[in-house]
Amino acid sequence: MTKRRHNQLPKPAGRRERRRAETREKLYQTAMRLFAERGFFDTSTEAITEAADVGQGTFFNYFPTKDHVLIALSEKQIGKISNALHEAEAGDRSIRDVLHRLMHAIAEEPTRSAPLTRSLLAAFVGSDEAREFTGETMARGRNSLARIIKFGQERKEIRHDRKAMDLAMTFQRNVLGTLLLWSIRPNGNVSSWLERTFEDFWDVATSKGDSPQ
């Protein structure tokens, strides 16, 4: 309680906000590390504050529940898709390039280690709250992906005979399938897995749908 009141003391706004952002990031990074080591369900908020070396109640000043750390991760991922959408709008790079970088960017955070990937996947399917906002996040991500893909269709980089939204689903399906397979048996670095995954996605995005003979 003392800590809570201390946090609310008037301070220079800039410095105070910077401190808050730093503490939040520290709690987030510590939580992700512990999720990787012990799994999401076996990590308590007390363990997070202890490992982050902050007061026990501090956690809840930043995250209402442990699930909100996963929400923070989802927000980071959505931010990456929004950035890619801005790049697509700007038109400086090919849509292939925008989507290729995006696939690697999206996988970066959850694949810091295979145990983290597994822990996150387990949390996303194992908790009703996490699943609800994951579904929401996936849907939001899919909308932005579809907008990027539409730019690709307009610029004749991507086929027109499939809905942009279906191809956005193709993108997500490929990334998730790879994260799952890699997390089960992480032989080789995830980057080369993602290269093949992108190649597959791009084959679908540009296929004429005819057979090879």
Q: By the 8 A CB rule, do 1 and 57 touch?
A: yes
* Residues of span 75-104 touching a second copy by CB under 8 A: none
Write the interaction track for a second copy spanning residues 21-60; mark x where CB under 8 A is met and - where it is not: ------------------x---------------------
Contact with a second copy (CB under 8 A) among 43, 148, 174, 190: 174
Q: How far is the CB of 128 from a second copy (least distance, A)?
A: 10
Cβ burial of 55 (10 Å; 0-12, 13-18, 19+) is middle
91 Ramachandran zone, left/alpha/beta (phi>0; psi -120 to 50): left
Q: Does 200 bind a second copy (CB under 8 A)?
A: yes
Q: How far is the CB of 132 from a second copy (least distance, A)?
A: 9
* 176-181 long-range Cβ contacts below 8 angstroms, 24+ apart: 178/107, 179/107, 179/110, 179/111, 179/117, 179/121, 180/121
Write the interaction track for a second copy spanning residues 119-148; mark x where CB under 8 A is met and - where it is not: --xx-xxx----x--xx--xx---------
Comparing CB distances to a second copy, the nearer of 105 and 114 is: 114
In angstroms, the CA 174 to CA 186 distance is 16
In sequence order, what DSSP letters do the residues of 116-182 get, joined into one string?
HHHHHHHHHHH-HHHHHHHHHHHHHHHHHHHHHHHHHHHTTSS-SSS-HHHHHHHHHHHHHHHHHHH
Comparing CB distances to a second copy, the nearer of 43 and 49 is: 43
Q: How far is the CB of 57 from a second copy (least distance, A)?
A: 29
Q: State the number of binding residues for a second copy (CB under 8 A).
A: 45
Residues lying near a second copy in the complex (CB under 8 A) are found at: 39, 118, 121-122, 124-126, 131, 134-135, 138-139, 156-160, 166, 169-170, 172-178, 180-181, 183-185, 196-197, 200, 203-204, 206-213
